[in-house]
Amino acid sequence: MVVEDDSLPKSVRDALPGVASSSIRLSAEADLATDGRFGERWVVLADDRVLTVASEDGEARVQRDLALTDIDEFKLESLVGGGVLQAVVDGREVDLISYTNALSKRFADVRTQLEAALKDKPIPEAPDRIFRCPKCGMVLGERTRVCVRCVRRGAMLRRLLSYARPYRAGLALVSVLMIAAAAFGLVPPWLTKILVDDVLIPKANPHLLGWLVFGLLASSVLSTVLAIWRGRVAAWLGGRTSLDIRAELYDRLQWMSLRYFDHHPTGTLVSRLTQDSGGVQDFLAFGLPWVASNLIIVFGVAGAIFALNWKLALLVLVPAPLVALLTRSLIRRVRLAFHKFWYGWSRFHTIVNDALGRVKIVKAFTRELDEIERFRFRNMELFGASVQAEQTFATFFPIIGFAVMSGSLLVWYFGGRLVIGDAGLSVGGLMAFLAYLAMLYGPLHGLAQSAQWMSRAMTAAERIFEVLDSEDYVERAPGKTVPEELRGEVEFQKVTFGYEKSQPVLKEVSFEAEADRMVGLVGKSGVGKTTVINLLCRFYDPDEGQVLVDGVDIRDLDLGAYRGHIGAVLQEPLMFSATIAENIAYGRPDATTEDIIAAAKAANAHNFIIKKPDGYDEQVGERGDKLSSGEKQRVSIARAILRDPKILILDEATANVDLETEELIQEALARLIEGRTTFTIAHRLSTLRNAHKLLVLEEGKVAEFGTHEELAKSKGVYSRLLNIFRKTSRVRAVDG
Amino acid sequence: MARQNGPASGAPDDQTRTRYLDPDEVRVFRDEDGRLFATVAEELTVLRPRFLRVHPLTDPDRYLAIVGPDPEGKDFGLLRNWRRLDRESRDIVNGELNRRYLHPVVKRIMSLRDYFGVAVCVFDTDRGLREATLRDVRDNVIYLGQSRILLTDAEGNRYDIRDVGALDAASKAMLAEVL
Ligand SMILES: Nc1ncnc2c1ncn2[C@@H]1O[C@H](COP(=O)(O)OP(=O)(O)O)[C@@H](O)[C@H]1O
Ligand SMILES: [Mg+2]
């Protein structure tokens, strides 16, 4: 198969000596020169030659030209901040091309492709790993296709508003109320004008006085009532919309694959759910209605003052944009200062949280004084930032006030001259004018800031949409086989997998576990035992190869139904902050008290539980902190047992309990594993004595697989481990 | 226990004890095939040694570990100051370090534009110009001491700003926008 890459620039293509375009099978761009500077480099596979090309300022030059037949192997060396693709020639590594972290996934694929070419296999298609916007080339977020640079504000706003679409009626009501409230807000100054000009100054028309005052009262009451009504409806709308957004966000997060969580620290996800959705809510509930109603007021007021005296109106409106601009730049400086302060706050928060949360270790190493010193330093830093922020605010805010004020001085002077000269403005008109002006500057001032609000809300929205648009969730496609019953045969077929693609943890792992038997996993810590379990649970999918259960690829099974047949005691016994009973029943919420007790008994947990003051109702605390690690393990064993799974997984399930307790649990487990396919990981080989087969992993590969007797005889890894184990347990027997 | 066994006098294979190497007893060279070697006091030759910085960020020029090529990375000892090696060795080690530690240091920020919290900027670094996309900047910044920061961009590349205070005013202002 020919993998033609159109992206190979013409200059590079032309620089290849004696290479016809049609013979190019593969090409990839790298971003580092040999001297470690950034630069454009290409690796090209043409027929059976591998070439590297340096391209600088549109000039391309071939650097290496190797025949595929001279190459034994392609390798990747991972470096700090990047890596290098190497060819092994005569048993010696030759650096072909270097790249930064940005391309490490891409080059893992390139290596696989080159290896295939080396073995005369068809070159596999490489997935698109460079998540860039096709329009502007900007790097996109982890697995989203939405580019913030190309999405216009309008589109983002529309999308945000689309969440309000189900509440169209409410939205319409808010709009009507807003216009009405603004209209009634414009009435009082106008009535004042009539009052002054037609009643007070001529000292006439006394019958009008009562009506005018009543009119003032009525319009104020009406506009107040309307404003309250509007505010209440808008608050509900905004709250409701962000409730929907939060719900969608949480729903999406719950179904994200573990890979997603590997790349996104919990803290940032939490802040998306809390701060960002809060930011969106503020915007929808307060910001947007505020901007809309103030826009209406601004236009209404502008109309009114032009009606009063258009020349004077022009005079005050001309400097208005200037005032707005000045305000904006001052506010910007205030904002920057506050930003620093808030950010300092959050860092401060982290540090205090850290120190107080880990107070035990502080005390264990008597570092109290240092912690106090560290705190003092941060505290001072915070003080500095807060003083700066507040002082900036204290300086600029009055200036802004003055700028706003100065507009009305203009009106007093020029308006006053018009009144004195009887040039088209009455005293009442002047007063109304000033009243309108006061109504105008507030909103203008705020509107200048609204761009800032908008962009903050859009930033929050962007972060939320990034999660919503991520394609990294576990698909729950309907129409997959729902396994009612499992026989429990498990088979790994040439499974290769790495948490980072470029660094496989498991390499072509194959083995078969018979139904209802127990497989023990053995190997050094970090070799990939838990990873095997992660794949079996389908927390991750293999990069290559298949995991089969009853002969079916588990990717073709309904995930929920499949996991329903698995009970796992994971290496870290994770607890919810709830009661012990709730923690045990987590996998089977409908379990009766007696089921729970039976499971706890089997896990040898019952005895310690009933001794707790609150028995099964004892709260385990945050992350189960109130239980010892052995207790936590027993609770999680009970949880797995209660689920009555066909496939049982015990990942170092008894690592933290004493030998005696382990004996007891082992006995219980021996009864339990009947009729289940069990995978056990344990460091004490005695724990594995019930295992039917043992799977020994070494450097990510299967080193040995067989029964205890076979492996003991074979003089391999297992028999070596067995010897070590015998020696140490003899020592322990003597010591004990 | 340890006393009974007696302190192993820097036996090269004792992996629980640190061995400090004298720059005079270490030689790094390539043979005619270009293969890399390190010899320690004529007693030990390491083929394809790796040179690892002990403090790649905070003290990159001192404390260099010489380890074997295998994934286990057997430790052959520490150099307190590798710049005291003989000239040939020093040049090779320098080249190896430059190759391993792709660590761009930012000299200037040429431009920075913020799109809803995603900043696209062009850094002028000691390794040349580079456009970087910074997402959730505040989650991806590490403070090393008072005024040094490490920024990680959306693609996983890191940029070192050694001294924020020493940047030019324009760069500082752009940085303040996003931090
Ligand atoms: N979520 C993860 N992200 C990245 N690397 C991981 C992750 N979990 C485990 N690893 C790495 O994968 C390797 C195998 O880990 P694991 O399967 O947990 O080993 P063990 O055999 O001790 O159970 C280790 O090098 C570990 O550091
Ligand atoms: Mg493990």
What ligand has the least distance to the C-alpha of B71? Answer: 1
> Does residue B115 sit in the same domain as residue B94?
no
> Does residue B132 sit in the same domain as residue B83?
no
Domain limit, last residue, from B100, B120, B151 = B100
Residue A621: count other Cβ atoms within 10 Å of its Cβ: 12
Q: Specify the pLDDT at position B6.
A: 34
* Residue contact B116–A148, C-beta within 8 A: yes
The more confident residue out of A444 and A662 is: A662
The string of pLDDT tens digits covering residues A570-600 is 888 888 888 899 999 988 888 899 999 998 9
CB B24 within 8 A of CB B69: no
> Percentage of residues in chain A with pLDDT exceeding 90?
22
Q: Which of A245-259, A323-337, A675-689 has the lowest mean pLDDT?
A: A323-337
The string of pLDDT tens digits covering residues B119-159 is 889 999 999 999 998 887 877 888 887 788 999 888 889 99
For A608-653, the three-class secondary structure string (H helix, E strand, C coil) is HHHHCCCHHHCECCHHHCCCCHHHHHHHHHHHHHHCCCCEEEEECC
The more confident residue out of A333 and A515 is: A515
Q: Which of A38, A102, A140 sits opposite B128 (nearest CB)?
A: A38
Q: Specify the pLDDT at position A12.
A: 87
Q: How many domains does chain B have?
A: 2
Q: Specify the pLDDT at position B29.
A: 92
State yes or no: pLDDT of A146 exceeds 70: no
Q: Specify the pLDDT at position A734.
A: 46
> Does residue B63 sit in the same domain as residue B127?
no
Please spell the DSSP secondary structure of A478-498, one letter per residue: TT-B--SS----EEEEEEEE-
> Does residue B80 sit in the same domain as residue B164?
no
> Does residue B45 sit in the same domain as residue B83?
yes
State yes or no: pLDDT of B11 exceeds 60: no
State yes or no: pLDDT of A236 exceeds 60: yes
Q: Which of A76-85, A107-116, A471-480 has the lowest mean pLDDT?
A: A471-480
- State the residue for tokens 């006995």: A667
A262 CA closest ligand 1 atom index: 1
> Does residue B19 sit in the same domain as residue B89?
yes
> Percentage of residues in chain A with pLDDT exceeding 70?
92
Query: What's the mean per-residue pLDDT of chain A?
Result: 84
Give B117's contacts in chain A (Cβ within 8 Å).
148, 459, 462-463
State yes or no: pLDDT of A519 exceeds 90: yes
CB proximity B16 to A under 8 Å? no
The tokens describing B78, both together, are: 């520490």
**Cα→Cα distances A698→A281, A505, A702, Å:** 53, 10, 6
Query: What's the mean per-residue pLDDT of chain B?
Result: 84
> Does residue B12 sit in the same domain as residue B69?
yes
Q: Which of A43-57, A122-136, A233-247, A697-711 has the lowest mean pLDDT?
A: A122-136
Q: What are phi and psi of B4, to 5 degrees?
A: -60, -45
Output the CA A534–ligand 2 centroid distance in Å: 10
Q: Specify the pLDDT at position A151.
A: 66
Question: Does a structural domain hold residue B1?
Answer: no
Q: CA-CA distance, A473 to A564, in Å (whole number)?
A: 19
Q: What are phi and psi of A707, to 5 degrees?
A: -80, 165
> Does residue B86 sit in the same domain as residue B127?
no
The string of pLDDT tens digits covering residues B12-50 is 455 667 788 898 999 999 988 788 899 988 778 888 898
> Does residue B85 sit in the same domain as residue B126?
no
Question: Does a structural domain hold residue B144?
Answer: yes
DSSP B111: E
State yes or no: pLDDT of B3 exceeds 60: no
Total residue count of chain A as it appears in this document: 736
Q: Which of A131, A149, A333 to mutate to test the interface with B (most CBs of B within 10 A)?
A: A149
Which value, to the nearest 10 degrees, does the dihedral of the CA atoms of residues A557, A563, A569, A573 take? 120
Q: Which of A50, A53, A65, A51 is nearest to A10 (CA)?
A: A53
Q: Specify the pLDDT at position A153.
A: 65
The string of pLDDT tens digits covering residues A466-486 is 788 776 666 666 667 777 888
- Reported as a pLDDT band with limits 50, 70 and 90, residue A659 is confident
State yes or no: pLDDT of A708 exceeds 60: yes
The more confident residue out of A129 and A5 is: A129
Question: Does a structural domain hold residue B73?
Answer: yes
Q: Specify the pLDDT at position A501.
A: 65
Is residue A465 within a helix (H) or strand (E), and if so which, with residue range? helix A427-469
> Does residue B27 sit in the same domain as residue B77?
yes
Output the CA A532–ligand 1 centroid distance in Å: 10
Chain A closest-CA separation from residue B103 CA (Å): 7
Q: Specify the pLDDT at position A730.
A: 60
Q: Specify the pLDDT at position A1.
A: 36
Chain B closest-CA separation from residue A272 CA (Å): 11
CB A416 within 8 A of CB A430: yes
With vertex at residue A718, the alpha carbon angle to CA A713 and CA A721, rounded to the nearest 5 degrees, is 115
Question: Does a structural domain hold residue B2?
Answer: no
Output the CA A668–ligand 2 centroid distance in Å: 23
Q: Which of A451, A446, A414, A453 is nearest to A433 (CA)?
A: A414
- Is there an atom of ligand 1 within 6 Å of A533 CB? no
State yes or no: pLDDT of A541 exceeds 80: yes
Q: Specify the pLDDT at position B97.
A: 92
- Average pLDDT value for residue range A664-668: 75
A651 CA closest ligand 1 atom index: 23
CB proximity B156 to A under 8 Å? yes
Is residue A549 within a helix (H) or strand (E), and if so which, with residue range? strand A544-549
Q: Specify the pLDDT at position A150.
A: 67
> Which chain A residue has its CA at the smallest distance from B105's CA?
A37
The more confident residue out of A463 and A142 is: A463
Q: Which of A32, A34, A37 to mutate to test the interface with B (most CBs of B within 10 A)?
A: A37
Q: Which of A266, A497, A530 to mutate to test the pocket of ligand 1 (most atoms within 8 A of CB)?
A: A530
Q: How many CA atoms lie within 13 A of A442 on its CB side?
A: 10
CB A616 within 8 A of CB A581: yes
- Reported as a pLDDT band with limits 50, 70 and 90, residue A8 is confident
Identify the domain containing residue B47 by its residue range.
Answer: 7-100
Q: Specify the pLDDT at position B10.
A: 43
Domain limit, last residue, from B100, B133, B151 = B100
Q: Specify the pLDDT at position A478.
A: 64
Question: Does a structural domain hold residue B41?
Answer: yes
Question: Does a structural domain hold residue B151?
Answer: yes
CB B127 within 8 A of CB B104: yes
> Percentage of residues in chain B with pLDDT exceeding 70?
89
Environment of ion ligand 2 (residues, CB < 5 A): A 530, 571
Q: Specify the pLDDT at position A571.
A: 82
> Does residue B122 sit in the same domain as residue B76?
no
Please spell the DSSP secondary structure of A221-277, one letter per residue: HHHHHHHHHHHHHHHHHHHHHHHHHHHHHHHHHHHB-HHHHHHS-HHHHHHIIIIIH
What ligand has the least distance to the C-alpha of A261? Answer: 1
- Is there an atom of ligand 1 within 6 Å of A463 CB? no
> Does residue B38 sit in the same domain as residue B123?
no
Domain limit, last residue, from B76, B100, B124 = B100
Query: Which residue CA neighbors atom 24 of ligand 1 most closely?
Result: A526
Q: Which of A139, A265, A268 sits opposite B133 (nearest CB)?
A: A139
Q: How many CA atoms lie within 13 A of A64 on its CB side?
A: 22
- Is there an atom of ligand 1 within 6 Å of A429 CB? no
- Average pLDDT value for residue range A634-656: 87
- Average pLDDT value for residue range A405-417: 85
The string of pLDDT tens digits covering residues A178-190 is 888 888 888 999 9
